[in-house]
Structure 1
Amino acid sequence: MTGQKGEGEPVCPLTLGYDFYRDPQPVYRAIKKDGDKPTEVTLETGMAYIPPNLKAWLVTSYEDVEFVLRDPRFRKSIDEAMPLFAANTPGGGQAQARSSLLYDNMANNDPPTHTALRKPLNGAFTSRAVAPKRQVMEELAASALDAVAGNAAFDLVQDFAFPYSISVICDTLGVPQDDRRTFHDWVQTITGEAEPEVLRHDAGQMVAYLSGLIRQKRAWDAEDVLSLLARSLDEPQAVAQAYALLAAGYETTANLIVTGLLTLEADPEQKKRLWADRSLVPGAVEEMLRHQSPFNLSLYRYVTETAVVGGVEIPAGSIVFLAFAAANRDEARFSDPDDFAIDVPRREHLAFGGGIHNCIGKHLARLEAEVAFDTLIRRCPELAVLTPAEDMRWKASPTFRGLKNLLVGPGPLPAHLEAAC
């Protein structure tokens, strides 16, 4: 199902499926036209601990999203949430089957658990701690493009965005670069649509891999993030935190690189300006974060008692998702919210969430995306999207909005020819 009858004619409850994953904005526009109130939805597909056909509430307005982010009645506790997933899903026994210690991380828990899990990491992801990583990022971005140098075309997703972003998070966390392809495949299973037995297998493989890595880190005297986790937390906690940082730490940035280029491609004049002046890159990245919102929907919350949001009563025990991509285009907060303007960055967006669950890796993500576009502009002056819109395949995920492939070209010149130029 598409999730709507037509522009401005919302079905109640909305079913959010593949059309929504491809482009959520028509659904959001229909909700806004109907008053921009919390809306009952059904998620057609599952991911990780979220079972398919889950019934939930979707909060879309900027004001309401901010309200929920700070209201203590809307909670996160993966242990308490699992029975609620089952209760809100037809045949909900699958929800329990999707449980894994991977999901018991800071993103899925409120204080005091959240505080204890996040505290060891706070110093590692400040803007000051992240800034020295620019040179390594530049080297990793250049290396990814070197692999496709001289090609008439290359896959921006599989040849650049993912390899580059994975390499950055591996370097930051202290994960062996040789293992990046293996855990990438597991993460793609866990964060997308997968049959329960496939999900259990790949989640189990990820647990085993990270457990072994954490044990190794305990025996070594290193200063990377995984070593910090290994020294500060017990093994299950460290594994869950490592997974959260790995999965969110590379996929969102990779997706932002791809959807950011698509947005520029749809506005040739702004793309031309950016390619002519790399000093505009930081502002362009900030506007991409708002306009494209690599986190489409937040991770879950549940409401502990009946609450009124935007004039709508949400019953106790309901699962709630925050539509960051809708809030970031709320005309009550942003003027001309659907417009994309590279030199008018609007930093009050919610691309990194808010409240205690604001993204710990936001400074890393910003810098990583800036380096990616700076490198693409410098190395690929004629870069253009080659995949027709009708051939683009989007990931089946309510949270991570991204393409599976995107053909672009031409690739950069080989290094010796670039030097000659």
Structure 2
Amino acid sequence: MREPNDTPRGGCPMELDGEFYADPYPVYRTIRDSGNKPTPVVLKTGMAYLPPGLKAWLVTSYEDVTFVLRDPRFRKSIDEAMPLFAANSGREQGAAGDRGRASLLYDNMANNDPPKHTRLRKPLNTIFTARAVAAKRDDMHRAVTETLDALVGKDSFDLVQDFALPYSVAVICDTLGVPRADRSRFHAWVQTITGAAEPEALRRDADRMASYLGELIRARRDGSGDDVLTQLATSLDEREAVAQAYALLAAGYETSANLVVTGFLALERDPEQKRRLWADPSLVPGAVEELLRHQSPFNFSLYRYVTETVEVGGVELPAGAIVFLSFAAANRDSARFEDPDALDVTAPRGEHLAFGGGIHNCIGKHLARLEAEVAFDALIRRCADLSIVTPSDRFDWKASPTFRGLKSLTVAPGPLA
């Protein structure tokens, strides 16, 4: 966390770089101890349509995050936001982001407000209800069993690359209807698009992803399938269906995989909590809820921009400002949670904001919860002595302001049942 040379609106901003992405909580505590007010920041690493050097406001308190989530003066139209990204990064619009690319993959429900948001989300409302998702438990169990069966006999494996990601990719691809044979290349494209890739690589893989999803959507136009892609293909035009499919695929498996890995890391760092959970698998649903609060898989929300000057937490945010909400910080706000940095798998605090709130609450929240429950239940039952091998000073965190997760984490399973 360093001060930049310039002093944009709101005073000297904090620079958020690789050190922050590895462990944001010291920064959040600093902000909390200084009043937990909206804070000017600079994103040193860009991703997708967010340019490096983007100046923004970071909202961290539970009360303020909840306020912004529900206030209509904070908007999310990607077309309106693109020139604001350029203006707030000191770049020409073409240099700050490729608008053509953004308007295809990123013009989805997550990046729009009503009435467009309502129309794009409507085809999915019945698919991701708690009841509909519960019916997928057996499919998830088969996926996690296959994933662990492939690791039998190994003295160690990568919890990210060998377990969490393959399992999560299998779940979301089965849900949407992505062919099994295509999962590896789909995974590689998403890693490029959601990471800190160079513009040329980002453009290349975004184009490949859009072309591939377009083929799948066209093949579902006859309505003969019973998967999510068929629902999108028969409810939206091709461009909209592609963007929706991308949003579900990318966010759907990345956040779930990160929760499993960072959740296990948190348990390993608190042996008593891990012992309790491993001794009593019935605690898993509540433990997942507590891990969602304690290890929020979304570090920041997606962007918002301010349509008119508005006061948040005693700070005036000017019209045209870019705003990020830190769900991770809000979920450790001492004004809302007692002893917020403590983890307690026996007493989940379910009023967390891990899935956001308001009209943009995560549509896949029930899927993510169940997916994590099945994963932890399988690890507990089959890897009784699971432990981390990678030294803490060798942890390699993703350079992403949105998704918080490790690129790899070597573990020893002990006897894999």
What is the distance in 1 between the residues matched to 2:327 and 2:413?
A: 34
- Counterpart of 1:114 in structure 2 is 117
Once the two structures are TM-superposed, the CA of residue 411 in structure 1 deviates from its matched residue by 5.5
1:362 to 362, 365, 371: 365
Does the aligned pair in 1 maintain the 2:305–2:323 contact within 8 Å? Answer: yes
1:19 aligns with 2:19: yes
1:19-58 equivalence runs, <5 A: 19-58=19-58
Once the two structures are TM-superposed, the CA of residue 183 in structure 1 deviates from its matched residue by 1.1
The AA in structure 2 aligned to 1:78 is I
What is the distance in 2 between the residues matched to 1:281 and 1:144?
A: 20
- Counterpart of 1:7 in structure 2 is none
The AA in structure 2 aligned to 1:170 is C
What is the distance in 2 between the residues matched to 1:222 and 1:203?
A: 26
What is the distance in 2 between the residues matched to 1:411 and 1:205?
A: 40
What is the distance in 2 between the residues matched to 1:186 and 1:103?
A: 15
Once the two structures are TM-superposed, the CA of residue 92 in structure 1 deviates from its matched residue by 4.0
Once the two structures are TM-superposed, the CA of residue 198 in structure 1 deviates from its matched residue by 1.1
What is the distance in 2 between the residues matched to 1:323 and 1:132?
A: 32
1:140 aligns with 2:134: no
Q: 1:92 to 1:284 in 2, by over 3 A?
A: farther
Once the two structures are TM-superposed, the CA of residue 2 in structure 1 deviates from its matched residue by 5.4
Q: Cα deviation per residue 1:170-207 (whole Å; 9 max; x = unaligned)?
A: 11001111111111111111111011111111111110
The AA in structure 1 aligned to 2:84 is L
- Counterpart of 1:263 in structure 2 is 266
1:226 aligns with 2:229: yes
Q: 1:179 to 1:28 in 2, by over 3 A?
A: same
What is the distance in 2 between the residues matched to 1:398 and 1:310?
A: 22
Q: 1:411 to 1:176 in 2, by over 3 A?
A: farther
Does the aligned pair in 2 maintain the 1:296–1:324 contact within 8 Å? Answer: yes
1:244 aligns with 2:243: no
User: Percent identity between the aligned chains?
Assistant: 71
- Counterpart of 2:404 in structure 1 is 401
What is the distance in 2 between the residues matched to 1:318 and 1:411?
A: 51
Does the aligned pair in 1 maintain the 2:293–2:328 contact within 8 Å? Answer: yes
What is the distance in 2 between the residues matched to 1:24 and 1:48?
A: 21
1:18-417 equivalence runs, <5 A: 18-93=18-93, 94-97=95-98, 99-100=101-102, 101-219=104-222, 221-410=224-413, 413=416
Q: Cα deviation per residue 1:191-238 (whole Å; 9 max; x = unaligned)?
A: 110111111111111100000110111145011001000000000000
Does the aligned pair in 2 maintain the 1:353–1:359 contact within 8 Å? Answer: yes
2:140 match: secondary structure: helix
Higher mean C-alpha displacement, 362-371 vs 91-100: 91-100
The AA in structure 1 aligned to 2:14 is L
Q: Following TM superposition, where does structure 1 have runs of at least 4 consecutive aligned residues deviating by more than 3 angstroms? A: 1-4
Q: Cα deviation per residue 1:295-323 (whole Å; 9 max; x = unaligned)?
A: 00000000000111000000100000001
Once the two structures are TM-superposed, the CA of residue 150 in structure 1 deviates from its matched residue by 1.0
RMSD of the TM alignment (CA)?
Answer: 1.3
Does the aligned pair in 2 maintain the 1:192–1:397 contact within 8 Å? Answer: yes
The AA in structure 2 aligned to 1:84 is L
Q: Cα deviation per residue 1:226-281 (whole Å; 9 max; x = unaligned)?
A: 10000000000000000000001000000000000000000111111111110000
The AA in structure 2 aligned to 1:55 is K
State the TM-score, normalizing by the size of structure 1.
0.95
What is the distance in 1 between the residues matched to 2:324 and 2:340?
A: 21
The AA in structure 2 aligned to 1:315 is P
2:407 match: secondary structure: coil
2:385 match: secondary structure: coil
The AA in structure 1 aligned to 2:129 is T
Structure 1 residue runs without a partner (length 5+)? 5-10
What is the distance in 2 between the residues matched to 1:3 and 1:22?
A: 18
Once the two structures are TM-superposed, the CA of residue 97 in structure 1 deviates from its matched residue by 1.9
Does the aligned pair in 1 maintain the 2:76–2:305 contact within 8 Å? Answer: yes
What is the distance in 2 between the residues matched to 1:154 and 1:407?
A: 6
What is the distance in 2 between the residues matched to 1:401 and 1:96?
A: 22
What is the distance in 1 between the residues matched to 2:222 and 2:286?
A: 43
What is the distance in 2 between the residues matched to 1:35 and 1:246?
A: 38
- Counterpart of 2:7 in structure 1 is none
1:104 match: secondary structure: coil
2:339 match: secondary structure: coil
1:42 match: secondary structure: strand
1:363 match: secondary structure: helix
Q: 1:401 to 1:3 in 2, by over 3 A?
A: farther
2:262 match: secondary structure: helix
2:396 match: secondary structure: coil
State the TM-score, normalizing by the size of structure 2.
0.96
What is the distance in 2 between the residues matched to 1:71 and 1:220?
A: 38
Structure 2 residue runs without a partner (length 5+)? 5-10
Does the aligned pair in 1 maintain the 2:37–2:315 contact within 8 Å? Answer: yes
Once the two structures are TM-superposed, the CA of residue 412 in structure 1 deviates from its matched residue by 5.1
The AA in structure 1 aligned to 2:193 is I
1:325 match: secondary structure: helix
